[in-house]
C-alpha cells in the first residue's frame, strides 16, 4: 500500500474537481448528502494516549462509528490506533505526511459506511503486518482471531497484481480468501479509494495504470458487493484521470445547472411532499444528485440535458408496505411514466439492492425519476455488504464454538466461490471472471413455480438450465419460454417465464456446441469441466462430426445441434447388439441413420478402435465408399435392444410435449435425446432418439405417438439423400 501512498491532492488535470465544492445541485436545494467520504485531510498525530482516553487523531472515526453503533465498545479502536501509530512512526508518505494518516483515512471511510468495530480495528492495522515488524501472531494475541484473519486477508490481497499480467492462480487464491469474509474486500476497496483520492503526485503513466485496474476489476467488484458509495466515487476519480476532457465538460454542465434560476427537481419534490401529506403517509422526500459519471452517461444517451436530468427524487419510508402506498399515491395524483417502473423490492438485484423505481412527467415535458425505499434499504443501497455487519456473529441461541462458519454473502459472491471450485484451471477461471465483471446489466426470469433466476443480459436457456440445476443441466432437452417451445440457444429477455425440459438419463452429456450459447460462468465452467473430464467422448463427438461432414457435406444428426441434448457417444447397448468383423473393435450405431433390426447394415472403422454402424442406404455410406474407406462387415447379434431416431410432426397446443413423452414412456422407450424446432405456422417438428428394450416394440411406439392429440405424423428419421452430380 505504501507504493500508492502519495500527496492528498485530487487526480487529473483539474485539481479539486472531484473532491472540491462542486456537487451537482447541492448549492441550492435541500438534498440528502451522499455518505461523505472526503472529509478527512491530514490527521493530527499525538502519539500514544493514556489508557482509557481516546487519542484525538481518531475522533473523526469515533464520531462516525457512534452514529451507526451507539453502544459500540471503543477500547479495541483505541488499542489498535496506539499499536498502528507506534508501528508506523517514522514512516512517511510520498507527500511527506506521517504514514498513519492512511490507515486513519481508510478506517474513517468504513466507519461512515457503518462498518462494525471488528472491521474498523482490522482497518487500522491493515498495513502493520506488511510494512512493519508486527506479526500476525501479535495481532491474534492482542485482538483475537477475527481481526487476525481480516488483516491477513488484506495483506494477501496487497500482493495480487490485478492487471493483464496477473497470475491467474495467485488471483484465484486471493479472491477465495476474500470470498470467505467479505469484510476483507471492504477494507481493500476503502484502501483503494483513499489511494485514488491521493494519486496526484504520481507520474501520469502510473496514475493511468492504477486507474485502469480500478476501472476493470475493483469498481465492478464494488458494484457486485453493493457498496455504491465507494463505487460512485471511484468511478468519478477514474473518469477524471482517464477522460480528462469529458470530465471537464461534465463538470461545466453541472456548474451551469447549479446556476439555473428554476429547479424542476425541487418543485417535484415539493409536490411529492404535498401528495404524501394529504395521504397521511410519513415519508422523507429528498433530492439525490447524480454523480459525474452518471451525468456523463445521461448526456450521451439523451443529448441536451434539462434540469430534471441532474438528479432524482428520493422518498424514504419506514416499512416495505409504505413503499407501495407511496407508489400508488404518486401514480394516482401525478402523471406517471409507466415504462420507467421497476420493482426491485419484490425482485432484488444480485447485489442486495432494493427499491421501487418510477418516473413522473411535468407539464413542461420534463421527466423526473423517483426512487422509493425504506431507510434500511437505503443504508444497504449505499453500503452494500458493509451494512451486513459481522457475518460471523452467532445467534443468541447458538453460542459460538470457536469454528468459522459461512458468512451471509450476496448471491454473486457465493457463485464466485462455486466457480473457482469448479473451474478446470486457473486461466479459465480468470477469463470467466473478467467476462462476468464486464457485464453490468442483469435480467430476471421466472420459473413456473414462481421462483426467479438472475442472469446477465444476453443469457440463453442454456444459462438458465445451469443456474437452476447445476451440473444436472447436462440432461436438459429443451425449454418452454412464455409457454412456447424453444431451443436451448434462445436468448432470454427480462421477465420471461422459462420451463426447462429435463431428460431422465443420468448419463446425459452436454454438447460442445452449448459453449457457443453459454454466457454465464456457471454454465461455461460446468460444460468445460465435463468435456475436460471426458476427453474420449468429447473427441468422439468432434471426430464423428468431421468424418461424416467431410465425406457427405452434411452435418450428421448424431452431432447435436445447438440447443439439443446430445446422446451417449458410445452406445451402451450396441456392443452386445451388433457383431463386427474386426477383432477387439467396439461397434456403435451411427446417429445419422440410427439402424435397428432387421435393417441391412454396414460398418466403417473410426479413430479409437471403434466401428460405426450405418444403414446401407445412408448417404454417409456412399460418400465414405467414394472416398476409399474400407467397409467392415457387421451383423445383428442376439440382443434385442435397439436405439432409433423418430420424427414427430404436430400442431402446437398446450402440454403437447408432456403428453408425447408420457406416451413414449408407457411403451418402455427411454428418451436419450430430443430436439424441438421452433414452431412455424402453428406446427412443430420433434426429433427423438430413444432406447427400446426390443426392436419389436418400435411399431407400437410409433402408433402410441400418433395417438397423441395434435400429432399428425410419426416416422423414422431418413438418411440424407446423396446429392446428384451435374
* Tens-place pLDDT, residues 281-339: 999 999 999 999 999 988 888 888 888 889 999 999 999 999 999 999 999 999 999 88
42 and 125 housed in the same domain: yes
How far is the C-alpha of 615 from the C-alpha of 308, rounded, in Å? 72
Is the distance from CB of 560 to CB of 511 less than 8 angstroms? yes
Q: Is the pLDDT of residue 46 over 60?
A: no
Task: Round to the nearest angstrom and report the end-to-end CA distance of the chain.
Answer: 75
Q: Is the pLDDT of residue 371 over 80?
A: yes
Q: Specify the DSSP class assigned to residue 214.
A: I
pLDDT of res. 175:
60
Q: What is the pLDDT of residues 475-523, one digit of tens each?
A: 887 788 888 777 788 889 888 889 888 776 666 678 777 888 888 877 8
Q: Indicate the burial class of 497 (C-beta count within 10 angstroms; 0-12, 13-18, 19 or more).
A: middle
113 and 188 housed in the same domain: yes
Of residues 237 and 562, the one with the higher pLDDT is 237
pLDDT of res. 551:
37
Number of other residues whose CB lies within 10 A of the CB of residue 156: 18
648 and 627 housed in the same domain: no
- CA distance readout (Å), 618 to 18, 509, 578, 602: 72, 25, 17, 10
* Of the residues 346, 369, 385, the one at which a domain ends: 385
Q: Is the pLDDT of residue 147 over 60?
A: yes
147 and 280 housed in the same domain: no
Q: Is the pLDDT of residue 553 over 50?
A: no
How far is the C-alpha of 263 from the C-alpha of 28, rounded, in Å? 9
Of residues 109 and 641, the one with the higher pLDDT is 109
267 and 294 housed in the same domain: yes
Cell of residue 59, nine digits: 475522533
Give the residue from 565, 538, 346, 558 showing the smallest Cα distance to 461: 565
Sorting pLDDT into bands at 50, 70 and 90, what band is 236? Answer: very high
649 counts as catalytic = no
User: Which entry of 131, 158, 223, 322 is annotated as an active-site residue?
Assistant: 131
Q: Is the pLDDT of residue 171 over 50?
A: yes
Task: Specify which residues 360 forms β-bridges with.
Answer: 336, 368
Determine which helix (DSSP H) or strand (DSSP E) holds 586, and give its type and residue range.
strand 586-589
The residues, any chain, with a CB within 8 Å of residue 372's CB and separated by 6 or more, are: 315, 317, 323, 326, 327, 355, 356, 357, 358
Q: Specify the pairing of strand 610-615 against strand 586-589.
A: parallel
303 and 372 housed in the same domain: yes
Of 184-198, 571-585, 666-680, the one with minimum mean pLDDT is 571-585
97 and 112 housed in the same domain: yes
- What dihedral do alpha carbons 686, 654, 565, 425 form, nearest 10°? 160
Of residues 711 and 31, the one with the higher pLDDT is 711
592 within a domain of the structure (yes/no): yes
pLDDT of res. 237:
93
244 and 281 housed in the same domain: no
How far is the C-alpha of 706 from the C-alpha of 648, rounded, in Å? 8
Q: Is the pLDDT of residue 5 over 60?
A: no
* Of the residues 589, 619, 636, the one at which a domain ends: 636
Q: What is the mean pLDDT of residues 256-275?
A: 89
708 and 614 housed in the same domain: no
- Give me the domain span that covers residue 178: 2-254
pLDDT of res. 604:
87
Number of domains in the chain: 5
Task: Specify which residues 610 forms β-bridges with.
Answer: 586, 606
Of residues 489 and 637, the one with the higher pLDDT is 489
Give the residue from 466, 502, 460, 467 showing the smallest Cα distance to 481: 460
Sorting pLDDT into bands at 50, 70 and 90, what band is 726? Answer: very low
Cell of residue 123, nine digits: 482497518
450 and 518 housed in the same domain: yes
User: Which entry of 130, 472, 617, 631 is annotated as an active-site residue?
Assistant: 130
363 within a domain of the structure (yes/no): yes
538 within a domain of the structure (yes/no): no
131 counts as catalytic = yes
How far is the C-alpha of 286 from the C-alpha of 315, rounded, in Å? 6
Amino acid at each position: 500500500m505504501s507504493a500508492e501512498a502519495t500527496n492528498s491532492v485530487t487526480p487529473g488535470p483539474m485539481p479539486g474537481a472531484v473532491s472540491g465544492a462542486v456537487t451537482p445541485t447541492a448549492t441550492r436545494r435541500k438534498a440528502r448528502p451522499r455518505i461523505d467520504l472526503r472529509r478527512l485531510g491530514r490527521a493530527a498525530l499525538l502519539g500514544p494516549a493514556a489508557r482509557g482516553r481516546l487519542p484525538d487523531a481518531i475522533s473523526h472515526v469515533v464520531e462516525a462509528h457512534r452514529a451507526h453503533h451507539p453502544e459500540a465498545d471503543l477500547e479495541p479502536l483505541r488499542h489498535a490506533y496506539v499499536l498502528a501509530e507506534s508501528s508506523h512512526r517514522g514512516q512517511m508518505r510520498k507527500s511527506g505526511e506521517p504514514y498513519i494518516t492512511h490507515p486513519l483515512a481508510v478506517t474513517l471511510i468504513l466507519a461512515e459506511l457503518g462498518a462494525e468495530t471488528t472491521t474498523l480495528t482490522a482497518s487500522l492495522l491493515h498495513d502493520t503486518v506488511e510494512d512493519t515488524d508486527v506479526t500476525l501472531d501479535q495481532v491474534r494475541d492482542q485482538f483475537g482471531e477475527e481481526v487476525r484473519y481480516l488483516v491477513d486477508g488484506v495483506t494477501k490481497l496487497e500482493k495480487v497484481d490485478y492487471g493483464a499480467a496477473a497470475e491467474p492462480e495467485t488471483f484465484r487464491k486471493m479472491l477465495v480468501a476474500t470470498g470467505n469474509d467479505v469484510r476483507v474486500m471492504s477494507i481493500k476497496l476503502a484502501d483503494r479509494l483513499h489511494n485514488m483520492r491521493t494519486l496526484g503526485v504520481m507520474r501520469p503513466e502510473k496514475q493511468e495504470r492504477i486507474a485502469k485496474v480500478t476501472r476493470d476489476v475493483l469498481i465492478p467488484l464494488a458494484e457486485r458487493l453493493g457498496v455504491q458509495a465507494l463505487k460512485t466515487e471511484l468511478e468519478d476519480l477514474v473518469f477524471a484521470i482517464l477522460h480528462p476532457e469529458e470530465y471537464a465538460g461534465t463538470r461545466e454542465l453541472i456548474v451551469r445547472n447549479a446556476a439555473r434560476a428554476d429547479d424542476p427537481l425541487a418543485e417535484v419534490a415539493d409536490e411529492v411532499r404535498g401528495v404524501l401529506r394529504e395521504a397521511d403517509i410519513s415519508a422523507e422526500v429528498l433530492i439525490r444528485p447524480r454523480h459525474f459519471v452518471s451525468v456523463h452517461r445521461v448526456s450521451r444517451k439523451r443529448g441536451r440535458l434539462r434540469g430534471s436530468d441532474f438528479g432524482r427524487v428520493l422518498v424514504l419510508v419506514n416499512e416495505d408496505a409504505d413503499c407501495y402506498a407511496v407508489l400508488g399515491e404518486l401514480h394516482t395524483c401525478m402523471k406517471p411514466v409507466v415504462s420507467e417502473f421497476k420493482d426491485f423490492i419484490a425482485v432484488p438485484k444480485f447485489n442486495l439492492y432494493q427499491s421501487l423505481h418510477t418516473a413522473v412527467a411535468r407539464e413542461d415535458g420534463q421527466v423526473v425519476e423517483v426512487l422509493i425505499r425504506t431507510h434500511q434499504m437505503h443504508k444497504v443501497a449505499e453500503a452494500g455488504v458493509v451494512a451486513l455487519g459481522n457475518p460471523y456473529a452467532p445467534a443468541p441461541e447458538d453460542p459460538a464454538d470457536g469454528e468459522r462458519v459461512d458468512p451471509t454473502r450476496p448471491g454473486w459472491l457465493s457463485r464466485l466461490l462455486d466457480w473457482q471450485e469448479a473451474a478446470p484451471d486457473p486461466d479459465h477461471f480468470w477469463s470467466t471472471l473478467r467476462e462476468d465483471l464486464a457485464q453490468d446489466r442483469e435480467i430476471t426470469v421466472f420459473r413456473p413455480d414462481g421462483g426467479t433466476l438472475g442472469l446477465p443480459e444476453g443469457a440463453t436457456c442454456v444459462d438458465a438450465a445451469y443456474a437452476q440445476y447445476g451440473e444436472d443441466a447436462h440432461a436438459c432437452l429443451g425449454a418452454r419460454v412464455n409457454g412456447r417451445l424453444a431451443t436451448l440457444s434462445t436468448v432470454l429477455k427480462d421477465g420471461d417465464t422459462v420451463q426447462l425440459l429435463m431428460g431422465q438419463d443420468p448419463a446425459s452429456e452436454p454438447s460442445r456446441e452449448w459453449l457457443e450459447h453459454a454466457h454465464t460462468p456457471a454454465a461455461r465452467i460446468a460444460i468445460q469441466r465435463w468435456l475436460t473430464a471426458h476427453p474420449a467422448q468429447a473427441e468422439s463427438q468432434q471426430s464423428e462430426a468431421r468424418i461424416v461432414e467431410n465425406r457427405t457435406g452434411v452435418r450428421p444428426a448424431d452431432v447435436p445441434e445447438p440447443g439439443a441434448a446430445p446422446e451417449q457417444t458410445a452406445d451402451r447397448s450396441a456392443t452386445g447388439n451388433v457383431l463386427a468383423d474386426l477383432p477387439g473393435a467396439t461397434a456403435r450405431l451411427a446417429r445419422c441413420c440410427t439402424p435397428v433390426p432387421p435393417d441391412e447394415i454396414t460398418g466403417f472403422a473410426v479413430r479409437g478402435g471403434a466401428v460405426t454402424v450405418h444403414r446401407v442406404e445412408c448417404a454417409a455410406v456412399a460418400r465414405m465408399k467414394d472416398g476409399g474407406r474400407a467397409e467392415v462387415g457387421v451383423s445383428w447379434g442376439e440382443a434385442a435392444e435397439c436405439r432409433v431416431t423418430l420424427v414427430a410432426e404436430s400442431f402446437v397446443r398446450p402440454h403437447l410435449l408432456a403428453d408425447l413423452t408420457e406416451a413414449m414412456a408407457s411403451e418402455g422407450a427411454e428418451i436419450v435425446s430430443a430436439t424441438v424446432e421452433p414452431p412455424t405456422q402453428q406446427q412443430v417438428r420433434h426429433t427423438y432418439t430413444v432406447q427400446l428394450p426390443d426392436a419389436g416394440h418400435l411399431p407400437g411406439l410409433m402408433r402410441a405417438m400418433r395417438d397423441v392429440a395434435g400429432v399428425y405424423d410419426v416416422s423414422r428419421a431418413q438418411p440424407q439423400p446423396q446429392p446428384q452430380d451435374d
